[in-house]
Amino acid sequence: MSARNAFLSLTALALLCAALIGAAVGLGAFTFVYAEGASYLTNDPNACANCHVMQGHLDAWVKSSHSKFATCNDCHAPHNFVGKYYCKARNGFFHSLAFTTGEFPQNIRMHEYNRGVTEHACLDCHADVTHSIQVSATGSGGFEAVSCIRCHSTVGHDT
């Protein structure tokens, strides 16, 4: 390789690195300044309403009995550190993708992963009540798994 080609290769590599760093800084600034990204790391329910489609859910939660005892994360994120922030990162990515592309249903629907998270949160917080239900549901009666939100789908967001 000639000295000139080596210089051009290094220049191209430097420009590529500068573009990648610039893109990362720009995306980070957009996420943490414009989109208030740091607020998503907290337990503040108002952070969920940064996205306008969540305002109705926040308003309904404020009026519900759950607002006195639980935040959004208590029901919609795992209760351990790693699981909670994995869930926030996962949902943040898919929510950003959906809202950027406009590909989401008018009535927001819970995906299977989030349904499982919420079911575990119900069972965790209401263990005194749900333990006896789970025992009878898994007995010889042959019931399928108990689903809290199948019967109580508006809890936390009822008005």
Whether 91 is covered by a domain: the verdict is yes
| pLDDT above 70: residue 127 | yes
User: Does residue 35 sit within a domain?
Assistant: no
Q: How far apart are CA 132 and CA 113, in angstroms?
A: 25
Of 138 and 20, the one with more pLDDT: 20
Query: So what's the pLDDT on residue 3?
Result: 86
- Tell whether the model's pLDDT for residue 135 goes beyond 70: no
Structural domain includes residue 135: yes
Distances (CA, A) of 128 to 29, 145, 147: 45, 18, 16
Task: Please tell me the predicted confidence (pLDDT) of residue 113.
Answer: 94
pLDDT on residue 39: 85
Q: Tell me, what CATH number does 62's domain have?
A: 1.10.3820.10
Place of tokens 């006896």: 132
Confidence grade of residue 153 (pLDDT, cut at 50, 70, 90): confident
Residue 6 three-state SS: helix
The parent domain of residue 103 ranges over 54-150
Question: Residue 25: exposed, middle, or buried by beta-carbon count in 10 A (0-12, 13-18, 19+)?
Answer: exposed
Inter-helix orientation angle 127-137/112-125, to 10°: 110
- pLDDT tens for residues 56-93? 889 999 999 899 999 999 999 999 999 999 999 999 88
Q: Does residue 52 surpass a pLDDT of 70?
A: yes
- Cα separation of 147 and 149, whole Å? 6
Kindly tell me if the per-residue pLDDT of 142 is higher than 60.
no
Under a CB-based contact definition with an 8 Å cutoff, are residues 112 and 94 in contact? Answer: no
Q: How many beta carbons lie within 10 A of that of residue 76, not counting itself? A: 19
**Is residue 12 included in any domain, yes or no?**
no
Answer whether residue 109 shows pLDDT above 70. yes
Mapped onto helix, strand or coil, the DSSP state of residue 137 is: helix
93 in a domain, yes or no? yes
Gap between the Cα atoms of 95 and 37, Å rounded: 13
pLDDT over 90 at 105, yes or no: no
Return the number of other C-beta atoms located less than 10 Å from residue 156's C-beta: 22
Looking at the domain assignment, is residue 29 inside a domain? no
Q: Is the residue at 37 inside a domain? A: no
Contacts of 126 (CB under 8 A, 6+ apart): 148
Q: Is the pTM of this model over 0.85?
A: no
Residues 51 and 34: beta-carbon distance below 8 Å: no
Q: In total, how many domains does the chain have?
A: 1
Average pLDDT over residues 92-118: 87
Question: Is 90 inside any structural domain?
Answer: yes
